[in-house]
């Protein structure tokens, strides 16, 4: 290109740009300077904003909320996996549960829920100590926080065969029971300092439960004996919001996804007030259908949790009596055991029952004390998320091919496995497939 | 290189004239008139007129060109001091190298200058298509575009994908612009009861579209920056022209229906087609299926003077669905104005408003779903199999959609153009869902109301400066900046447990809940681009885009996206054979991206309630301050060519997209306490394929014209890296897994299919990709004496699989006819002669979703159009033209897919997820339309 051509071009460029330069610069400057990318969106709470004294109440309520949020779902699924309810709907998991199968890829929601419930409580305690300082000690909020830390650990230990803490290796459930003991003992200490008798009793009941899990029966009885028969501590539910509602109500009253058909509870209803059931085939006017969502199973609708706001017991004095009964049976003390069992029955307005002997669970004689205890725990704690643990620790005959709805299974799972989501993100944990424990 | 109209300049001669559309004679505003070999040129005003002063005396070649039209060149002789009148008539073309496009080019560019592929759909193609939503404009006509109809609920949106998907998590919708204003590419909010949703971009009246430009990947979309890696669709609406008012009115009458629904061997359609005797609420007709009446009315007028032009249109439509009360109705108006106060300055103002009310029916995966309950027979939820009870549920949406934009074009000198567009796209939806008091599923009733608003603001500036560098080189420099502000506002109220019957509001419920969402994202950036031309045959373009985005992490900074492309018109050389008219070789590399979602970078907790309504908090989002956009780099290469007097046109493109720093939803180990997935820039995925197009004008002269065309494209995606994990569950048995298409189906498949008399054994296996790996379209058009025309378009998609939740769930309930005989054997305990595969498919206690996830290849006759243009002698004096057209959509489907329909997608409302699943949802409909069009 010739020099003159270049100069001519440059001159023209200068002339042209002078005409548009101002607009160009103004617009570009306008566009760039108006780019305020620091957008703050409302609605979510940022991490540091939680660190205020006034925020501690919501933090502890969050512990209760997260515990309740997962407890009903876990209980409902456990009920279908165990002999409490028959899965009778269209959920994919239902077909597996009917066969006694539950796999790591199917339990993500439950594993994540229980882990979150524990994290919220345990991490919340650390945050409360930091924010409240000396005001933490003897604070009723601290009592509740320790309680939920204890109950969330109990929930994990009773329902999962192994546990993981903070992306660590898998640990046996016994270590989780031990972890719960520490929290309940702290709850007792704080409750005594705060003079919170209800929380104090709940913590003692929680300790009794975890000592059962550890097989430390004398410790269990030491704490159960401090819980009156009429005491109940609940996981709280409400029709205030969907998150707070009790899943049992929705799944059994709206969707008919589970029926008590062919269960012990059905055989005792309507004579046993612990297992209230509506037989939709007998009273169709009270139901939207006579059969469940699968179109086949007769709908025997649970009425223990008839409302979205029905609370689920997590500590009951009646369970404490049955713990004492079991401890007595382990000591071959039939009289004490039956007295404790009948104390529970009488509390519910039922007559005494008698046993043919101590016997064993699942033996040829189903009227012995162990089988009666099995049935009484089943009925007393029905749909409260405790049955799987009983099946497991008793190596219950139902696990060898329960005949509920779906026959022919050789060994049913009695605990939930660690979820696939944990195994995928945690190098120290391997999932068990197939899962048959 | 494109020249712009300028004011008066001094010279030896003057040229003036007009540019009109061939045939109709309508003026073309904005056409470029160029004196070849000089920098002298002009553009036409609103009346199609131009004037060029200062043209050196002597012989020249003058050419006229306009977007979407063939270039016309003329030899002229300019005499000093005189004015020469040169008029042009331009005809529409899609093959012309000189045609001008604007999308992704940084100002205007001729097709020959562009190194990437670009698709154009002209007004004529749009008019011939049978349209039920915007997706139909592209379906089967655009290589590389996969349009899936999803649903037969009229008013529901389609899924649009360009070159498949190149994002794991951020959706793969293309950006959509209408007249330079970015409009929402989201669907309106929906609800699990409907499972389908309308989309704002479907509000656009197809009769208003002048043309559509589509660029499909990062190689072309770089200057759109973050969010553009899924491609860009730009729609241009019609504009006014000088002259007296020209009116156009069209009336469409037709109906929707379904050919049949349900499995093979069941003429009753499992109770949908014949419900008499099995459903006490069965309609008197004995069938639930009905022909849904369709009616549309359009009126438009265009005209103007020298300075002001206008195009104004209105539409009124009503369309009934094929089951129950389902249907949609609405109206819309558009007003486009052009104002040219002087030859250097042009304003374009476009505004449109649309209203639509859609009555939905419960569909898909919910206990009140109509198809679900009807097909399940006695195993459905309504008492006594009275399935019409679900229609007592009121589900409707009302949408208001307003789009308005102002574009100013200033041409200070003949080589420079400044263009500014300011626009707003506002869409809102009022969604109501009500179960009345006494409803079978919720006896006390409930009501939900959802107010949903999308507000998008666009500011876009582009400057272009063109130069001639000596005799052989040209330069085109572009720069610009954009600012985009997107707001989503949602307010949801829920009230349950009414005290009695009657019309309700949310607060009529004894129990109420409310939810509010407010999300704002701001993005912006600037670009610079330089295109060098050599001999008008070789063009090299380089550019860079720098972007910021409000969802980037605090520590991330700005994103930078480069591009480079080249095109070579080898056929312009003298040695090139004459029969081979054109050959353009092109290649391009460019990058663009996608931003993280609104809160992804922040560690947040959520406000919830507990302990019976007390305030509480729960962990929500882990957060990551280093979070940035995912970056897709795309290489593409190909050619465009025509032969034998342009009778044959061929185009081919190979592309490969590599997305790095892909945003992967990484779930933290739940044992850490935060359980929600956190987006991390840890992934990598590849997406590649070819696109081929062939159009043949078999007969193009004489009374009969016949053309045949087709396009074929492939798309193969593969997850190369998912960070620390090798699989991520998406939904409905679809996963992201390293080494597999994105996403893919995995599930239990029988491993001993041929074994007889034994239980089936299963293994979790890869089944296939969720999205088609190839699509193809075939079209043919016959025109007789320019009056009678038949146009047929077929489209096929394949290579993918689809899970039929319908078949699986019905098999489990003993309600699937192809399994009836086997299930009778199973029930009788007579399984010794059954294969494991038969048991795996039909045993209610053995069958799996995997067994019912099957190849979803299909071919559909998408559109058949038969039209007749009435002779002028038949028309009254004031009538310019009149035509009648019969159209049909989805007339035939050819597929081996065993479920309801291979295109059906139960979750069609979920616009930012990428999976598919057929589950008791109404499949796409068949539509018949008769259209009468009159111009006067």
Given an 8 Å threshold on Cβ–Cβ distance, is B463 in contact with A24?
A: yes
Q: Is the pLDDT of residue B9 over 70?
A: no
Question: Which residues neighbour A98 within 8 Å (Cβ) at sequence distance 6 or greater?
Answer: A80, A86, A87, A404, A405, A406
Q: Which of B667, B671, B616, B619 is nearest to A179 (CA)?
A: B671
Mutate to test the interface with A, among B610, B624, B677, B919 (most CBs of A within 10 A): B610
Give residue for tokens 């550019």: B543
CB contact under 8 A, B481 and A42: no
- Per-residue pLDDT tens digits for B446-493: 999 999 999 999 999 999 998 888 888 999 999 999 999 999 999 999
Residue A218 has pLDDT above 70, yes or no: yes
pLDDT of B111 > 90? The answer is: no
CATH 3.10.20.340 fits A51-244+384-399+410-437, yes or no: no
Query: Residue B254 pLDDT > 70, yes or no?
Result: yes
Distance from CA of A353 to the nearest CA of B (A): 38
B737 interfaces chain A, CB cutoff of 8 Å: no
Q: How far apart are the first and last CA of chain A?
A: 84
- Partners of A2 on chain B (C-beta within 8 Å) are 470
Residues of B in contact with A293 (CB under 8 A): 367, 379, 381
Q: What angle do CA A37, A41, A47 make, to 5 degrees?
A: 105
Is 3.40.50.10800 the CATH classification of the domain at B123-715+771-800+856-935? no
- Over range A214-221, report the average pLDDT: 98
Tokens of B585: 């070789």
Chain B 792-851, CB below 8 Å of chain A: which residues? 809, 812-813, 845, 849
- Provide the residue ranges of all domains of chain A, joining segments of one domain with +: 51-244+384-399+410-437, 247-302
Contact B618 A20 (CB under 8 A): no
Instruction: Tell me if chain B has a CB within 8 Å of the CB of A109.
Output: no
Give percent of chain B above pLDDT 70: 96
Indicate whether A8 pLDDT > 80. no
Q: Give the A window 181-210 contacts with B, CB below 8 Å.
A: none
pLDDT the model gives residue A404: 45
- Nearest CA to B479 among A48, A38, A29? A29
Is some CB atom of chain A closer than 8 A to the CB atom of B675? yes
pLDDT of residue B5: 44
Where is average pLDDT lowest: B19-33, B202-216, B285-299, B917-931? Answer: B19-33
Cross-chain Cβ contact A41/B518 below 8 Å: yes
pLDDT band at B46 (very low <50, low <70, confident <90, very high): low
Binding-face residues of B in 572-611 toward A, CB within 8 A: 598-599, 602-611
- Smallest Cβ–Cβ distance between A254 and the set B442, B516, B608 belongs to B442
pLDDT digits (tens, 9 = 90+) for A372-393: 999 999 999 999 999 999 999 9
Which residues in chain A have Cβ-Cβ distances shorter than 8 Å to B608?
A: 62, 65, 241, 243
* In chain B, % of residues over pLDDT 90: 58
pTM: 0.84
> For position B3, what pLDDT does the model report?
45
| Partner-chain residue, chosen from B483, B613, B728, that has the shortest CB–CB distance to A34 | B483
pLDDT tens by residue, B328-376: 999 999 999 999 888 888 999 999 999 999 999 999 988 899 999 999 8
Per-residue pLDDT, B24: 62
Q: How far apart are CA A221 and CA B44, in angstroms?
A: 97
Determine contact, residues B518/B598, Cβ cutoff 8 Å: no
Q: Mean pLDDT over all residues of chain B?
A: 89
Burial class (CB in 10 A: 0-12, 13-18, 19+), A52: exposed
More confident residue, B756 or B222: B756
pLDDT in tens, B484-543: 999 999 999 999 999 999 999 999 999 898 999 999 999 989 899 999 999 989 999 999
Pairwise CB contact (< 8 Å): A238 & B482: no
- For the segment B603-608, the average pLDDT, to the nearest whole number, is 91
Please tell me the distance in Å from A156's CA to the nearest CA on chain B: 11
SS (H, E, C) B657-688: EEEEEEEEEECCCHHHCCCCCEEEEEEEEEEE
pLDDT at A32 over 60: no
Of A209-218, B165-174, B405-414, give the range with the top mean pLDDT. Answer: A209-218
User: By the CB < 8 Å criterion, does B243 face chain A?
Assistant: no
| Position B384 confidence tier, pLDDT thresholds 50, 70, 90 | confident
CA A249 to each of CA A285, A298, B653: distance values in angstroms, whole numbers, following the listed order: 18, 18, 58
A251-260, B272-281, B559-568, B705-714: range with lowest mean pLDDT: B272-281
Query: Distance between CA B193 and CA B395 in Å, rounded?
Result: 8
Q: What is the pLDDT of residue A7?
A: 58
pLDDT band of residue A6 (cuts 50, 70, 90) is low
Q: Can you tell me the mean pLDDT for A154-172?
A: 96
**Cα angle for residues A67, A73, A78 (degrees, 5° grid):** 115
Say whether pLDDT at B710 is over 60: yes
Put simply, the answer to whether A424 touches B614 (Cβ < 8 Å) is: no
To the nearest whole Å, the CA of A289 is away from the closest chain B CA by 5
Contacts of B473 in chain A (CB under 8 A): 1
What secondary structure letter does DSSP report for B925? P
Q: Please count the other Cβ atoms lying within 10 Å of the Cβ belonging to residue A389.
A: 23
More confidently predicted of B549 and A30: B549
Chain B within 8 Å of A178 (Cβ-Cβ)?
no
Average pLDDT over residues A413-425: 91
| Residue range B51-84, pLDDT digits in tens | 888 888 888 889 888 766 777 888 898 888 888 9
Q: Is A20 on the interface with B (CB under 8 A)?
A: yes
B472: left (phi over 0), alpha (psi -120 to 50) or beta: alpha
Kind plus residue range of the DSSP H or E element containing B860: strand B858-869
What is the ipTM score, two decimals? 0.90
Residue A162, beta-bridge partner list: A172
The DSSP secondary structure of A395-419, one letter per residue, reads T-GGGGT--SSS---S----SBPPP
Is the predicted pLDDT of residue B94 greater than 50, yes or no?
no
């Amino acid at each position: 290109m010739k020099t003159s051509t270049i100069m001519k071009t440059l001159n023209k460029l200068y002339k042209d740009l002078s005409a548009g330069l101002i607009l160009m610069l103004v617009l570009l400057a306008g566009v760039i300077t108006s780019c305020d990318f620091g957008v703050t969106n409302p609605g979510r709470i940022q991490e540091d904003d939680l660190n205020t004294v006034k925020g501690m109440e919501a933090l502890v309520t969050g512990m209760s909320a997260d515990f309740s949020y997962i407890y009903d779902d876990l209980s409902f699924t456990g009920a279908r996996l165990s002999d409490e309810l028959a899965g009778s709907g269209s959920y994919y998991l239902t077909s597996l549960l009917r066969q006694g199968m539950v796999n790591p890829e199917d339990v993500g929601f439950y594993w994540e829920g229980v882990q979150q419930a524990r994290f919220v409580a345990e991490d919340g305690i650390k945050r409360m100590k930091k924010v409240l300082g000396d005001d933490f000690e003897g604070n009723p909020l601290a009592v509740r926080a320790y309680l939920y830390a204890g109950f969330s650990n109990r929930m994990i230990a009773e329902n999962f065969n192994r546990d993981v803490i903070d992306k660590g290796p898998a640990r046996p459930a016994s270590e989780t029971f031990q972890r719960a003991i520490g929290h309940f003992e702290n709850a007792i200490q704080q409750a005594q300092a705060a003079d919170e008798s209800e929380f104090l009793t709940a913590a003692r009941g929680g300790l009794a439960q975890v000592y059962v899990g550890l097989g430390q029966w004398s410790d269990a009885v030491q704490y159960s004996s401090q819980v009156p028969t009429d005491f109940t501590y609940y996981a709280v539910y409400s029709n205030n919001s969907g998150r707070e509602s009790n899943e049992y109500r929705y799944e059994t009253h709206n969707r008919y996804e589970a029926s008590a058909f062919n269960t012990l509870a059905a055989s005792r209803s309507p004579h046993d007030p612990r297992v209230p059931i509506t037989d939709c085939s007998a009273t169709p006017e009270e139901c939207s259908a006579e059969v469940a969502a699968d179109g086949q199973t007769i709908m025997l609708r649970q009425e223990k949790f008839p409302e979205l706001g029905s609370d689920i017991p997590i500590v009951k004095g009646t369970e404490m009596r049955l713990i004492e009964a079991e401890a007595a049976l382990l000591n071959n003390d039939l009289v004490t055991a039956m007295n404790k069992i009948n104390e529970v029955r009488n509390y519910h307005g039922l007559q005494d029952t008698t046993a043919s002997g101590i016997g064993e669970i699942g033996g040829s004689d189903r009227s012995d004390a162990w089988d009666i205890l099995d049935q009484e725990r089943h009925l007393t704690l029905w749909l409260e998320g405790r049955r799987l643990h009983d099946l497991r620790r008793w190596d219950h005959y139902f696990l060898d091919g329960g005949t509920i709805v779906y026959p022919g299974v050789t060994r049913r799972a009695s605990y939930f496995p660690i979820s696939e989501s944990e195994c995928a993100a945690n190098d120290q944990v391997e999932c068990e497939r197939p899962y048959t424990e | 290189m494109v020249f712009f109209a300028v004011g008066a300049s001094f010279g030896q001669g003057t040229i003036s004239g007009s540019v009109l559309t061939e045939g109709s004679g309508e003026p073309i505003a904005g056409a470029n008139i160029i004196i070849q070999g000089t920098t002298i040129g002009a553009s036409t005003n609103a009346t199609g007129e131009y004037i060029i002063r200062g043209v050196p005396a002597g012989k020249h070649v003058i050419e006229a060109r306009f977007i979407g039209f063939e270039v016309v060149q003329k030899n002229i002789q300019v005499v000093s001091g005189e004015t020469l009148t040169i008029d042009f008539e331009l005809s529409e073309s899609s093959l012309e190298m000189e045609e001008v496009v604007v999308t992704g080019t940084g100002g205007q560019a001729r097709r020959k200058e562009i190194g990437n592929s670009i698709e154009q759909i002209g007004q004529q193609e749009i008019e011939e298509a049978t349209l039920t939503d915007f997706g139909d404009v592209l379906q089967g006509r655009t290589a590389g575009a996969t349009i899936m109809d999803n649903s037969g609920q009229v008013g529901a949106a389609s899924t649009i994908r360009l070159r498949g998907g190149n994002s794991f998590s951020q959706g793969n919708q293309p950006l959509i612009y209408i007249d330079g204003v970015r409009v929402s590419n989201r669907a309106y909010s929906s609800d699990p009861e409907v499972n389908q949703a309308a989309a704002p971009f479907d509000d656009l009246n197809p009769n208003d579209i002048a043309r559509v430009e589509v660029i499909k990947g990062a190689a072309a979309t770089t200057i759109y920056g973050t969010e553009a890696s899924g491609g860009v669709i730009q729609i241009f609406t019609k504009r006014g022209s000088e002259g007296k008012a020209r009116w156009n009115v069209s009336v469409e009458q037709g109906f929707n229906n379904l050919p049949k629904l349900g499995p093979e061997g069941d003429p009753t359609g499992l109770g949908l087609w014949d419900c008499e005797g099995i459903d006490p609420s069965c309609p008197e007709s004995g069938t639930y299926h009905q022909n849904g009446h369709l009616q549309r009315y359009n009126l438009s007028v265009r005209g103007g003077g020298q300075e002001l032009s206008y195009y104004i249109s209105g539409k009124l439509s009503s369309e009934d669905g094929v089951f129950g009360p389902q249907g949609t109705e609405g109206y819309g108006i558009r007003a486009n104005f052009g104002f040219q106060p002087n030859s250097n300055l042009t304003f374009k103002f476009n505004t449109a408003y649309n209203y639509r009310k859609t009555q939905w029916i419960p569909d898909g995966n919910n206990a009140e779903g109509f198809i679900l309950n009807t097909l399940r027979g006695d195993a459905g939820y309504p008492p006594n199999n009275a399935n019409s009870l679900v229609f007592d549920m009121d589900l409707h949406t009302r949408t208001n959609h307003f789009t308005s934009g102002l574009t100013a074009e200033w041409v200070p000198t003949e080589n420079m153009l400044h263009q500014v567009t300011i626009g707003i796209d506002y869409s809102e939806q009022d969604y109501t869902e009500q179960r009345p008091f006494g409803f079978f599923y919720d006896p006390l009733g409930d009501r939900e109301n959802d107010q949903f608003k999308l507000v998008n603001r666009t500011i876009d500036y582009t400057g272009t400066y063109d130069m001639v560098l000596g005799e052989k080189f040209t330069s085109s420099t572009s720069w610009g900046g954009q600012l985009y502000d997107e707001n989503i506002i949602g307010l949801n109220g829920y009230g349950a447990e009414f005290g009695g019957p009657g019309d309700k509001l949310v607060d009529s419920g004894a129990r109420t809940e409310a939810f509010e969402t407010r999300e704002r994202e701001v993005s912006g950036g600037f670009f610079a681009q330089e295109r060098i031309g050599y001999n008008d045959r070789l063009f090299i373009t380089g550019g860079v885009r720098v972007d910021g985005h409000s969802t980037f992490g605090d520590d991330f900074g700005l994103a930078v996206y480069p591009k480079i492309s080249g095109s070579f018109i080898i056929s312009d050389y003298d040695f090139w054979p004459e029969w081979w008219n054109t050959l353009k070789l092109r290649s391009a590399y460019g990058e663009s991206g996608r931003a993280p979602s609104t809160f992804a970078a922040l560690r947040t907790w959520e406000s919830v309630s507990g302990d019976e309504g007390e305030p509480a908090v729960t962990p929500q989002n882990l957060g990551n301050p280093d979070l940035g956009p995912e970056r897709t780099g795309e290489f593409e290469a190909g050619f465009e060519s025509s032969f034998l007097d342009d009778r044959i046109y061929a185009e081919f493109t190979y592309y490969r997209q590599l997305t790095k720093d892909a945003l992967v939803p990484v779930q933290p180990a739940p044992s850490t306490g935060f359980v929600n997935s956190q987006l991390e820039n840890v992934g990598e995925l590849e997406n590649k394929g070819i696109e081929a197009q062939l159009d043949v004008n078999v007969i193009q002269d004489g009374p009969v014209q016949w053309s045949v065309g087709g396009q074929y494209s492939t798309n193969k995606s593969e997850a190369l890296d998912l960070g620390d994990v090798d699989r991520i569950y998406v939904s409905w048995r679809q996963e992201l897994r390293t080494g597999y298409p994105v996403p893919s189906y995995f599930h239990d498949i029988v491993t001993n299919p041929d074994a007889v008399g034994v239980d089936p054994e299963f293994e979790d296996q890869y089944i296939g990709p969720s999205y088609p790996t190839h699509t193809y379209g075939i079209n043919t058009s016959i025109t007789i004496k320019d009056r009678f025309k038949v146009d047929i378009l077929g489209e096929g998609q394949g290579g993918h699989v689809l899970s039929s939740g319908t078949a699986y769930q019905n098999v489990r309930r003993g309600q699937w006819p192809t399994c009836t005989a086997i299930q009778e054997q199973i029930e009788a305990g007579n399984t010794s002669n059954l294969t494991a595969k038969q048991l795996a498919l039909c045993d209610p206690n053995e069958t799996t979703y995997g067994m019912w996830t099957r190849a979803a290849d299909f071919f559909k006759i998408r559109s058949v159009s038969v039209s007749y243009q009435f002779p002028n002698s038949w028309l009254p004096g004031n009538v310019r033209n009149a035509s009648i057209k019969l159209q049909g959509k989805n007339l035939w489907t050819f597929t081996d897919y065993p479920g309801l329909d291979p295109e059906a997608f139960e979750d069609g409302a979920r616009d930012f997820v990428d999976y598919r699943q057929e589950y008791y949802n109404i499949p796409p409909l068949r539509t018949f339309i008769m259209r009468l069009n009159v111009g006067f």
